[in-house]
Structure 1
């Protein structure tokens, strides 16, 4: 249990780029990368891991994951969308991310969406998720410990493997549910055409 609490503290789950962290003036790609590196440096699993690269940003632009940039500069709205992409890429394919963000991009391009306000709402949801996650994690750990008692094993490694299996299963359930929601977005978009 203490190990998990230590891991939770190391995760820095509420570490996010906030809208006020982004300058109001447009940034060049290198400045965008520096902003992400500065804000997410502690979330790296390995020291040489890259948070964001020029290739990634170019692939996002080519894949039309965000609306077109102007004069090789990224607006605050671009950076907010790139951060959403960064958050989604851990669990979704780029194709699914494009489908997910297509409506946001369209509304932003049409000037109908206040993306900054929407993004702040997203950050509030993340804060709530983090608190719920901590409580849920404790429940999962108790569940694993109870199951381990049934097989009368006190080996820490076996408990850790069972915990990992449980966590990955929950992650897969959430991802599969998200994919079903993406499929519904796709169907709704086809019906609107």
Structure 2
């Protein structure tokens, strides 16, 4: 789920606390945004439009080298953003499939690989977004972050965990609510709905 991705992106910046504490806040913020960015395609080709498991990873290598060789606000921000986006895109492969009810396991699509021009099948290490194990990972990522960050990032971490917990509790109900709402929509809107909602 998105809260897990953004906290994972933030945690990538943890080494900055020791090696370049003045750059840590920008690193945490950039990692958060990088972990968030791929899911901006939620309603426009989800896990395809902004998910690039190969390309984000490839771009993150020179960006990270640039940040190591010439650390600055810009190089650290770019590197952590790309690392967060890459981690998000790759991590989605280990979750459930791209469907309204991923716990049913009917989808063979996890993330689109633009390099190979094919969908990568879900590995289902985390059964679905919002599953108990997803929430456990989210909390596990939050604990070290709470020890590393100060306000206002501390409040961001706490708020993210609260959102994750609420989402995990409501996840299955949300799928039913979405399905019910979709049935109420006029047929003329069908072409505009994401495939997983049909």
Q: TM-score, normalised by structure 1?
A: 0.29
Q: TM-score, normalised by structure 2?
A: 0.29
Structure having the higher Rg: 1
